[in-house]
Structure 1
């Protein structure tokens, strides 16, 4: 559910990063696809780190559509589940990003892909 707390800040752009890298900048770069767009990460980054280096959310809640960015960041809370383009669920906090990996932040995009593969509308 979206927050009802008052805010003095304007809503952040979806592509504004949540994280900024300040260390370990010399690891080998790699590329992966986030919602169909090619983006960069570094070898050894978790999917959570790689995604939050690009934008402010890991996914949208399947219940409310509210943005989610993980909660505990250590694998205990179950809030960082994402889907690959083929529909496989992965935990962003404990899955290493790999070259060419293709992940989605919106459940609707996963469902649309499944409908395309089967020819059925969901």
Structure 2
């Protein structure tokens, strides 16, 4: 594992005492810290490409990291269009990329959850 994480911050303090969480991304197992988002856990592990652009097929990654841009959409436990920057990792979560995600702005799409919490509220992960 390539650890790109800042473990000590002059204001936020040390992150060494947080629990780790295991999850998979495209079939490979990774670990992140408890309360990490998918995006922050992947960035800490050196992963930058999360999906392909709908039209060009170019690689897309984490852009705004605050939920505004939709660039970080991935598939979580079989549910498409989940924003990695807003969704916390949970133990044994299965995250996939590579597939072209449906546009979140297309009015013909069904209502899709935007976070893993929304996904669970809609009856996912049962």
The TM-score, its normalising length taken from structure 1, stands at 0.65
CA deviation after TM superposition for structure 1 residue 96, in Å: 0.2
What is the aligned partner in structure 1 of residue 44 from structure 2? 53
**For residues 74 and 107 of structure 1, what CA distance do their matches in structure 2 show?**
22
Match of 2:83 among 86, 91, 102: 91
**For residues 79 and 69 of structure 1, what CA distance do their matches in structure 2 show?**
6
Verify: 1:76 aligned to 2:68, yes or no. Answer: yes
CA deviation after TM superposition for structure 1 residue 61, in Å: 2.1
The TM-score, its normalising length taken from structure 2, stands at 0.64
> 3-state SS of the aligned residue for 2:42?
helix
Verify: 1:26 aligned to 2:17, yes or no. Answer: yes
* Bigger fraction of residues in helix: 1
* Bigger fraction of residues in strand: 2
31-40 vs 21-30, greater mean Cα deviation: 21-30
Please list every run of 5 or more consecutive structure 1 residues that lacks an aligned counterpart in the other structure. 1-14, 109-122
94-103 vs 49-58, greater mean Cα deviation: 49-58
Are 1:51 and 1:58, in contact at CA under 8 Å, matched by a contact in 2? no
Deviations 1:62-97 (A, max 9, x none): 322222112111111111111124133211011001
**For residues 25 and 69 of structure 1, what CA distance do their matches in structure 2 show?**
27
Number of aligned pairs?
A: 92
CA RMSD of aligned residues (A): 2.1
Are 2:52 and 2:60, in contact at CA under 8 Å, matched by a contact in 1? yes
